[in-house]
């Protein structure tokens, strides 16, 4: 299973919403799709889901061109694009039944899907009364109910409260274990770090990075860690003498920023040394997310979502 | 995953669209209006029309005159926002990314609209036939022809409504513009045509005149010229075949355009 963009271009007048995108995402994994406002993320997803028609190039899913053979291309794809609306007078049960009937799949998973997104108790209520967060949950249920092998999700946690966001992320993580290919756009970098295996970044309609989160982390790790101790620390010199430590900035009596030289291994050895020297470390973490570092370095001064 | 046939998908779309008409109470509302109008007609005809010197066709023409208005109402109720709402209300984000061809969505919805309209128009004509049979004891073949022409008019007007619906994004704009067109623009165009002596062959409401004309005996002449003072006016009576051709042309052209528009229109 794979999705592939081949010289995929979408142009509105003289403006390129997407320019010659070449990207192939294959296998059971979750790929985060990042970029600033107007970078072309949603345009890409809409081209893959037959909502837009490419100006040139091809959006291909499992070997089928979406434009030329939409039925075969989208046969095994569940989608959530923006926050869709549903027919307000129908119930979630009916909406999901419709999705199953359109795809010719069994309706046996409807209740499970609704339970998964915590809408089961609302299954017979009219959708017109639902909040944005509930609509988003229903949209995810409709993407999942037919058990697709590929999921295309556009900012799936939009409009949700923190608990809802966490639940959706956990659902996506679970789905990943089930062998699905998930391609999701997001403007939340921690979300992508938490959920995804790989990340693709675009800016101004062009792909600027596609790599595993692991590689991005090692390439763009921050060289500053923020350490918090259980008790106030008096003898800073003992910490400064640890190998790899470059400088220390005291933030409070029990909290400091440590600049170091090296990668994750140095980070680990600093932590070990601190503990060996009897410091009671409460928290030890990079000042910023590696993905955020990568994002800021690659996209630079552009407007960041 | 097995691929579902377009015909089966069309039926699914029609089924849920029809369910939406029931749940939104549109169908019941129009049935209510039809029922109320029928009761008013029954009372008015019973009170003010003396059927003794009327033929069965003349009697039922009292009913037929209102049926064109009912067809317009049905087209607006069931087709006015059928496609535009997919774009304006964002329901298209749920429907379009399915493995389904866009024309299937259009025709599935059209089928549901047609079915709902047939129920409304069928109820009205059922009452009309019942009343005529009760009063005159017979229903002549022309009455059935008038009913069949009403259905053809419904088909073409619904197609035209779907075409307009596929152009617009806002449901309110789509319904309003279509209503203005049916209730005012076509009638104004017909009047101007009469004054200028040009037969309004391009007007669907002109073609709808066959519904009443077919009940008249003899069938009205094609052209009548009236002269009053310095003013000369030509009254055109649409001929049966011409009327049918206009309606068929509207149906074919409108559905073709609507199919092309929905196939290529993007959901931005």
Give the whole-angstrom CA distance, residue B41 versus residue B63: 8
Q: What is the pLDDT of residue A305?
A: 39
Q: Which of B29, B89, B93, B260 should we substitute to test contact with A (largest number of A Cβ atoms within 10 Å)?
A: B93
Count the alpha carbons within 13 Å of B145 in the hemisphere toward its beta carbon. 16
Q: What is the pLDDT of residues A180-216, one digit of tens each?
A: 999 999 888 888 888 999 999 998 888 888 999 888 8
Q: Which two tokens stand for residue A212?
A: 């595993």
Q: Is B79 on the interface with A (CB under 8 A)?
A: no
Q: What is the pLDDT of residue A304?
A: 40
Residue with tokens 């092309």: B260
State the smallest CA–CA distance between residue B83 and chain A in angstroms. Answer: 13
> What secondary structure does DSSP assign to chain B, as a single string?
-PPPPHHHHHHHHHHHHHHHHHHTTHHHHHHHHHHHHHHHHHHHHHHH--GGG--HHHHHHHHHHHHHHHHHHHHHHHHTTTTHHHHHSSTHHHHTTSS--HHHHHHHHHHHHHHHHHHHHHHHHHHHHHHHHHHHS---HHHHHHHHHHHHHHHHHHHHHHHHHHH-S-HHHHHHHHHHIIIIIHHHHHHHHHHHT---TT-HHHHTTHHHHTTSSSPPPSEEEEEETTEEEEEE---HHHHHHHHHHHHHHHHHHHHHHHHH----
Closest C-alpha among A164, A221, A74, A98 to residue B19: A98
Which helix or strand (DSSP H or E) is residue A141 part of? helix A132-144
Q: How many CB pairs under 8 A join A and B?
A: 102
pTM for the structure as a whole: 0.87
CB A81 to CB B97 under 8 A?
yes
- Distances in whole angstroms, Cα of residue A305 to Cα of each of A86, A194, B33: 27, 18, 52
CB B91 to CB A87 under 8 A?
yes
Q: Which residues of B touch A73 (CB under 8 A)?
A: 99
Residue-level pLDDT, tens digit, chain B, 268 residues: 567 899 999 999 999 999 999 999 999 999 999 999 999 989 988 888 888 888 999 999 989 988 999 999 999 999 999 999 999 988 999 999 999 999 999 999 999 999 999 999 999 999 999 999 999 999 999 999 999 999 999 999 999 999 999 999 888 888 899 899 988 899 898 888 888 888 999 999 999 999 999 999 899 999 888 887 777 788 899 999 999 999 999 999 999 999 999 999 999 8
Which helix or strand (DSSP H or E) is residue A127 part of? none
Q: What is the pLDDT of residue A149?
A: 94
Q: Is B94 on the interface with A (CB under 8 A)?
A: yes
Closest C-alpha among B159, B161, B182 to residue B171: B161
Q: Which residues of A touch B16 (CB under 8 A)?
A: 87, 90, 94, 98
Residue with tokens 């992508």: A192
Q: Is B104 on the interface with A (CB under 8 A)?
A: no
Which stretches of chain A score pLDDT less than 50? Answer: 303-305
Q: Which residues of A touch B19 (CB under 8 A)?
A: 90, 94
Count the alpha carbons within 13 Å of B104 in the hemisphere toward its beta carbon. 20
CB B93 to CB A101 under 8 A?
no
Give the whole-angstrom CA distance, residue A70 versus residue A271: 54
Q: What is the pLDDT of residue B29?
A: 96
CB B143 within 8 A of CB B129: yes
Q: What is the pLDDT of residues A78-94, one digit of tens each?
A: 999 988 899 999 999 99
State the smallest CA–CA distance between residue B106 and chain A in angstroms. Answer: 14
Give the whole-angstrom CA distance, residue A95 versus residue A146: 12
CB A155 within 8 A of CB A33: no
Which helix or strand (DSSP H or E) is residue A261 part of? none
Rounded to an integer, what is the distance from CA A62 to the centroid of its chain? 22
Cis-peptide into B54, omega within 30 deg: no
Give the whole-angstrom CA distance, residue A297 versus residue A291: 10
């Amino acid at each position: 299973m794979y999705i592939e963009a081949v010289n995929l271009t979408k142009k509105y007048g003289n403006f390129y919403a997407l320019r010659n995108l070449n990207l192939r995402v294959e296998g059971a994994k979750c790929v985060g799709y990042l970029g600033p406002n107007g970078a072309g993320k949603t345009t890409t997803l809409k081209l893959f889901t037959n909502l837009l028609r490419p100006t040139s190039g091809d959006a291909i899913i499992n070997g089928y061109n979406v434009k030329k053979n939409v039925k075969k291309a989208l046969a095994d794809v569940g989608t959530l694009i923006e926050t869709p609306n549903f027919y307000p007078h129908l119930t979630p049960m009916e909406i999901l039944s419709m999705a199953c009937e359109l795809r010719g799949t069994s309706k046996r998973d409807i209740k499970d899907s609704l339970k998964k997104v915590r809408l089961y108790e609302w299954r017979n209520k009219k959708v017109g009364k639902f909040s944005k967060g509930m609509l988003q949950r229903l949209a995810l249920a409709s993407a999942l109910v037919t058990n697709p092998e590929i999921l295309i999700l556009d900012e799936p946690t939009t409009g949700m409260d923190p608990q809802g966001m966490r639940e959706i992320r956990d659902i996506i993580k679970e789905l990943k274990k089930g062998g699905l290919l998930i391609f999701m756009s997001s403007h939340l970098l921690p979300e992508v770090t938490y959920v995804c295996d790989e990340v693709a970044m675009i800016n101004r309609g062009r792909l600027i990075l596609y790599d595993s989160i692991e590689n991005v982390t090692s390439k763009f790790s921050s060289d500053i860690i923020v350490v918090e101790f259980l008790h106030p620390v008096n003898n800073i010199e003992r910490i400064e003498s640890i190998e790899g430590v470059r400088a220390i900035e005291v933030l409070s009596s029990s909290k400091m920023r440590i600049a170091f030289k090296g990668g994750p291994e140095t980070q680990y050895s600093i932590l070990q040394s601190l503990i060996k020297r009897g410091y009671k470390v409460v928290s030890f973490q990079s000042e910023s997310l590696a993905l955020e570092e990568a994002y800021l370095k690659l996209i630079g001064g552009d407007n960041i979502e | 995953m097995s691929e579902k046939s377009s015909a089966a998908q069309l039926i699914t779309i029609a089924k849920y669209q029809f369910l939406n008409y029931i749940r939104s109470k549109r169908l019941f509302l129009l049935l209510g209006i039809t029922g109320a109008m029928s009761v008013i007609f029954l009372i008015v005809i019973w009170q003010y029309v003396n059927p003794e010197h009327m033929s069965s066709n003349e009697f039922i023409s009292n009913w037929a005159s209102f049926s064109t208005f009912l067809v317009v109402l049905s087209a607006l109720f069931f087709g006015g926002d059928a496609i535009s709402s997919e774009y304006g209300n964002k329901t298209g984000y749920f429907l379009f990314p399915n493995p389904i061809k866009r024309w299937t969505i259009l025709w599935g919805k059209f089928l549901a609209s047609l079915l709902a309209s047939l129920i409304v128009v069928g109820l009205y004509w059922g009452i009309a036939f019942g009343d005529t049979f009760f009063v005159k004891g017979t229903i002549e073949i022309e009455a059935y022809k008038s009913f069949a022409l009403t259905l053809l008019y419904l088909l073409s007007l619904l197609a035209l409504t779907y075409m307009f619906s596929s152009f617009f994004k806002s449901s309110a704009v789509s319904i309003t513009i279509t209503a203005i067109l049916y209730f005012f623009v076509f009638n104004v165009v017909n009047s101007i045509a009469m004054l200028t002596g040009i037969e309004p062959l391009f007007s669907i409401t002109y073609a709808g005149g066959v519904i009443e004309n077919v009940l008249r005996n003899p069938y009205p002449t094609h052209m009548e010229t009236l002269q009053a003072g310095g003013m000369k006016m030509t009254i055109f009576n649409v001929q049966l075949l011409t009327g049918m051709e206009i309606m068929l042309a509207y149906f074919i052209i409108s559905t073709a355009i609507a199919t092309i528009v929905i196939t290529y229109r993007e959901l931005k």
